[in-house]
Structure formats: C-alpha cells, structure tokens
Amino acid sequence: MTSTSVKNNFLPPGLVSNLQEVLSKKNNESDKANDQVKANAESTQPSSSTSVSDAVEDEQAIDSSKPIVLVTNGDGIDSPGLAYLVEALVREGLYNVHVCAPQSDKSVSGHSVTLQETVAVSSAEIDGATAFEVSGTPVDCVSLALSGALFSWSKPLLVISGINRGSSCGHQMFYSGVVAGAREAMICGVPSLSISLNWKKDESKDTDFKDAVAVCSPLINAAIRDIEKGRFPKSCSLNIEIPTSPLTNKGFKLTKQSMWRSTPNWQAVSANRYPAGHFMSNQQSLGIQLAQLGRDASAAGAARRLTTQKKNVVEIESVGVAGKSDFNRVKKFFRLQFLDQDQEEDDEDLDFRALESGFIAVTPLSLSPHIETDIQTAALDWISAALHGEEQ
C-alpha cells in the first residue's frame, strides 16, 4: 500500500499528508509524460504507403483507364532531359505520369543502392505529373517506387529512365545511372527504356532534349501500346542512344553493346580538395573545421583519467582512432575524369558506331551476360513492326 512508505516515520501528520499529495501528483504527471512519449514515438514511425501517396494523389486523381508510366533519370529531377520528357508524356494525355528521380546528379552512380542510411523523399512540382525527389540513386528511386511504399501502385506499365546528358554506350552502361534505373525495373519484371542524348560540350544545348523527345516518342508510344497487347520483347530492356543532332538522325538501328569505353584519368590536385571556382575553393570547409575540433576534443578526452570510488582503480575513456590527429597523417586529393579514346571496333552494328554515324541506336539489354539470339531477333522484329505501325 502507498501509506507503507511513511508508516514508521515520525513526521507530523500534516506534513505526511502533504507529501502523499505531492507524490500522487508526481505519479500522475509521470504517467502523462510516458503516454506522451509513447504517442510521439508512434507519430515518428514511417507513414504507410497509403498515407504517403494519398497526400499527393488526392490533389491529382488517377484515371484508372490510363496506364501508369514511371519516369526516373540519372541527372537529377531538375534536369532538362527529364523535364521535356515528362512534358511530352503529359501532353499526350494518354498516361498517368509519375516521377521518382534523384534530387541531385547521380549520372555515374551505376547500379548502387543506399544502405544503412535514411533516404529522404520530398514531393516535387511538375505540371500534370505526380512527382517525388529522392536523396538516393536512380536504383533507389525505381526500387522505392515499385515497392508500394511510396505510390498506391507497385507495378507501372513502363519505366522510362532519361533523358541523360551524354551517351551510355559500351562499358559506360556499367557506370551509367540512367541505364541502371531501367535495369532495376527489368529486374523487378517491369518493361523499361533508358534514353541518352550524345551531348557534346560547346555544341549541344538544352533545347536539343526537346528534339530528342520528339524523335524517340514514336518508339515510346509503340512500346506502351505493345506492352498492353503483350507484344513487347520479354526479359529485356531497350537502351536508346540519340545522336548529337536529333532532328537530322538517319533513323532507328538495332545495335549490339560494344566494348567501347572512356579511359579513366585520375589527376592529383593540390591540398585543396575543391576545384577552382568552387565556392569552397579558397576557404576551409566549416564542416572540416568542426570535425577537427571534434577530433581534438576526443583526443583530450582519451587522456582524461576518471578516478572511481574504488581505491587504486583508474579508467581511461576509449575513443579508438578518433584520437588520432590529422597532423600525423598524409592526405592526398585526386579528381577523376573520363577521356575519350579511339576505338578499333569497325562493326557498324555496334552501339557507338551507329551513334557516330547519325543513327538512333537501340540496344536490347538482358540480365544474362550475353544477349540471347532469340531476344535480339525478337527486338529487331518488334522495332520494325512498331515503327511501321506508327507510320500508318
């Protein structure tokens, strides 16, 4: 009983009564505080897929009669290639267009995913589309979109990744974020296209993306039409490479992935890790300064002895490698650039050769190391029939 705690003391009865009243109030306040903590913890749990998607889709109802097309890319959600592509899809009025794209440039992220870190997702304003930007890679974007955790659906009719600034031919496909986005969709069993523009510095301009959309739109529309009819090639993704001058292209050409690659070139730079012109190039990052202060503080803590109540026992705070000073370590800084090199492969059916010759190169990609002959044949038959159907 609660009175037991004060039964055998010799305090005045009035004071005992007051103490009991205070203790009672304290217990009530503690219960309320615990309830509040529990409520706060529940409120910070991840929202369900329904509540996340409803917040956006309530404003823009989905027409169930229209197929869902998911768009992602590698250059980031603010890139002109994605903007022109989404604008064209919305203008068609035939599709429910959804966008899930990186919030920043992830064009050479390859097929990387984000693990052991929280990925932030924010709604984005794109006219006619339901859009989110993600603090992750293109693969994160597609994986999240197809998981059912973000949108109210989990399987769109088609995933389009692009339009990328720069070609993704040959070995570049392994580095390419835009190809990885389409590949992730293929892994999940969803038909996909990746699209890149052969961007040339000092020659190309942002409006070239609008022309790129115009020339590949027939193939996109044909893909959506034939996916619904079950005629789209199975178990493959199509990588579409558009020449530098899209409107002067020589037509579509089915190609094979080449061995073409750029040469990685690592350049040692000065002790300043930031390139010339970077806003941090002439001053040390505040974050670096704070990190150094933190390491210094940890080093001081490591040397601090904490004497316990037990005689002749001394405890040392352990901070591991955090106690090491930067002044005793050698640091070097490097920057990576890819340099084009001459290619000796002369096969005109290779992706980069067709692209250099002015064709729109269409390369079927499979999850197996080598494209099966029947998949190559099926893709060729489909492209011929699809484009012939568009012209009629």
What residues contact 185, with CB distance under 8 A and at least 6 apart? 70, 142, 146, 159, 161, 191, 192, 237
DSSP character string of 235-278: T-EEEEEE-SSGGG---EEE-B-----PEEEEEEE-S--SPTT-
Residue pair 314/307 in contact by the 8 Å Cβ criterion: yes
Q: What is the pLDDT of residue 314?
A: 38
DSSP character string of 314-348: EEE---GGGG--GGGS---EEEEEEE--------T
Residue pair 178/139 in contact by the 8 Å Cβ criterion: no
Please count the helices (runs of H) and the strands (runs of E) in the chain: 10, 13
The β-bridge partners of 360 are: 252
Cβ neighbourhood burial of 25 (10 Å; 0-12, 13-18, 19+): exposed
Q: Strand, helix or coil at 7?
A: coil
Cα distances (angstroms) measured from residue 70 to each of 167, 187, 222: 21, 15, 16
Q: In what order do the strands lie in the sheet with 158-165?
A: 121-126, 129-134, 96-102, 68-72, 158-165, 192-197, 237-242, 360-365, 252-254
Could you state, in order of their start, the residue ranges of all structural domains in the chain?
50-262+346-391, 265-279+286-338
Residue pair 364/373 in contact by the 8 Å Cβ criterion: no
Closest CA relative to residue 238, chosen from 362, 371, 369: 362
- CA 294 from chain centre, in angstroms, equals 31
Q: What is the pLDDT of residue 285?
A: 46
Cβ neighbours around 37 below 10 Å, total: 10
Q: What is the pLDDT of residue 311?
A: 40
pLDDT tens per residue, range 247-292? 999 999 999 888 777 777 888 888 665 555 554 444 444 444 444 4
Determine the CATH number of domain 50-262+346-391.
3.40.1210.10
Residue pair 84/116 in contact by the 8 Å Cβ criterion: no
Per-residue pLDDT of the chain (392 residues; tens, 9 = 90+): 444 444 444 455 555 555 566 556 656 655 555 565 455 544 444 443 334 545 444 445 677 889 999 999 999 999 999 999 999 999 999 999 999 999 999 988 889 999 989 999 999 999 999 999 999 999 999 999 999 999 999 899 999 999 999 998 888 888 899 999 999 999 999 999 999 999 998 999 999 999 999 999 999 999 999 999 999 988 889 999 999 999 999 999 999 888 777 777 888 888 665 555 554 444 444 444 444 444 444 444 444 433 334 344 433 334 444 455 566 788 888 888 777 766 666 778 898 899 999 999 999 998 876 666 777 788 888 888 887 765 55
Q: DSSP H helical segments within 112-199, as ranges?
A: 138-146, 172-175, 177-187
Q: What is the pLDDT of residue 41?
A: 47
Q: What is the pLDDT of residue 321?
A: 47
Closest CA relative to residue 199, chosen from 218, 178, 220, 183: 178
Q: What is the pLDDT of residue 354?
A: 92
**What gap in Å lies between CA 102 and CA 75, rounded to an integer?**
8
Q: What is the pLDDT of residue 328?
A: 77
